[in-house]
Structure 1
Amino acid sequence: MISLDDFEKYARDNLPKKVFNYVSNGAADQQTLHDNRNAFKRLRIRPRVLRDVSKRDLSATIIGQHVPFPIGICPTAIQKLSGSDGETATARAASSMGTIMILSTYATCSIEEVAHAAPTGHLWLQMYLFTDRKLTADLIHRAERAGYKAIVVTIDSPIAGNRLNDERYGGFNPAVRIPNVEGSSYRPVSGSVQPAYGPDELSESLTWSDIRWVKTLSSLPVIVKGILSGDAAREALAAGVDGILVSNHGGRQLDGVPASIDALAEVIAVTQGTNVEVYLDGGVRLGTDVLKALALGARAVFIGRPVWWGLTYKGEEGVRKVLELLRDELSLAMALSGCSSVGDLGPSMLTRGPSSNL
């Protein structure tokens, strides 16, 4: 296992086909899914030579939390289907590496179980805005009581994307618990592996006023996940958010939207000079991908599918190995590009490759 692609191959060979397809596939023709990775390849690094890189500092501060390297873990649902302990294993791995884990509301371990598994971890809770306002508020209050450090609201999913490959492979209802929403109006969607998006679950009428409401429910920072334009970033700033996660849901919602890395600079331009931090997910597979996102202004990147592949490989140890690989690749990329700290990275280090028509 010397690259993240090795973990993906292992998962493809060892997970049940329907589970692997559910995790790996995107929406519709999967243009955005594939472009998330290809967009990184269109960017080229311009190294700074003859710089002292004998000591390198990869650390960053994210919402007031010190992390040894700016690579965190995205929310991904139903992780016990990986054949591991699921989210508790992910939390232990993230905690041991000192980095951030965002727990999905649709986890197979509860908010409290994950907090107990990683009592010193940097935990954030991802959630949707449910039509059941009491459920929404209860989840936030539970996270705050359990010691979570931030709330991440996914805003690109008023309804589910058109995931054709899930339908092609028949879908299925996995026999797993979704403890965070038990006792609510939650119910699985017939014929789908995704235990979300019931017709009465997510509201199609949500607006930025709902984000303002979330801000009143706790003292926790509120981060919105799913911004892809400067206009949306301006609305997020007006709503008083504390952070923006530039994301297209891993290519799983609206197909044909920009790759996350292609949308990043526009969002950074809007947030520059404010206290709102900007992060990125989508397509990160290499240390050079991390470097490119940081150079364009992201405070940190988050990874999703590679964590699933690490869980499939060796549970907690597999997730830790995934994080170690990316961290070490980032350190190497910084050395070879003449940067001794993440603060040395900047957009002047990047250019478009010859194959790009952008």
Structure 2
Amino acid sequence: MSNFHVGLKKVVDDSYDIEIGYGLEEKLVNDLKNGLVGGLHKFAVVTDDIVKDLHAEKICNLLTEAGFTAQLFVFPNGEKSKVRKTKEEVEDAMLAAGFRRDCCIIAVGGGVVTDLAGFVAGTFGRGIPFLNYATTLLAAADASIGGKTAVDTPLATNLIGLFNQPKKVYIDIASWKTLPKRQLVSGLAETIKHACMADIEFFAYLEDHMDDIFAFKPEVLEHVSEQNCRIKYEVVMKDELEKSLREILNLGHTVGRAIETVSGYQLLHGEALGIGLTAEVRLGNSYGYISAADVDRVVSLLKKAGLPTEIPDYIDREELIHKLYTDKKVRDGKLRFVFQKGIGAVMEFENGSYARMVSEEDARRIIEEM
């Protein structure tokens, strides 16, 4: 009998830059010319069937004109495409087109695209580099930052995936003008969540400048983008793999994700999150974590952004309560919620935990009230 120890200690630098600006397509190509991903010259541009015509095709053409090999890989838009079958189809298409380990993925689109493309990159050829070119406020605020990639299953959202950091993120504010207003509104939910959990001054800024956001005032949009990046970075930097602190990014998501799934994705992610944040502050108020006045401020800001704050009548309440148990924060079959501490901070509980157990009775009460 013998024993052989395989020592595989490693230090990995997953640092990357986030560039915020307007019309960054040519900047992306120039970065690649200057060695952003080393000597790679083959690029799979992954996008959806809406963003293809708006942004991705232009990027693909610029890459080709610059002497790179580039090909579009397009799937149907929407959360229903963020599943294992779509991942398989993208992978098979890349393989059929001759893509192997000597390539890089460029994800062009919103959160569904960046989540799915980042997951593909993490497993294709056992891992290839990728870039995110975020074209929605939601992706800029959430999905393109932090390295969480995943697909949904019939049971719940985002339970199958991995942590995979991009080589760089481009936030193209100019692309937001191509968004339907409903999509822009949806993106504001993650922005409001960031303010609720980490920065009361940013919360007040949003109260004062919501109309300016819809008016596309450049200095306001840039400030919103910068604050979203800063707040999320400060969390991810301390807890990249979601061991404890990073759970606070799930503020409002226990109810929000469940509603999104039970609605059959009739509700966009941000719309469901608006309802989830409302449920969280109402329940938090009953526990003494947030005052009634601050609850009113949060709900008022959500409404000012155009986000829903009540559960639609078509949502089956019993199915919704059952779906809460598929949340990734559940431990030993017990529901766990993240809570605000007033506005601009979060509650910390015993043993450095940022989520606490909530009885089904309490969750049911809030859901029935809404």
- TM-score over 0.5 for the pair: no
Q: Give the structure with the higher percent helix.
A: 2
Relative contact order, CA 8 A, sep 6+: which one is greater?
A: 1
- Highest CA radius of gyration, 1 or 2? 2
Give the TM-score normalised by structure 2. Answer: 0.28
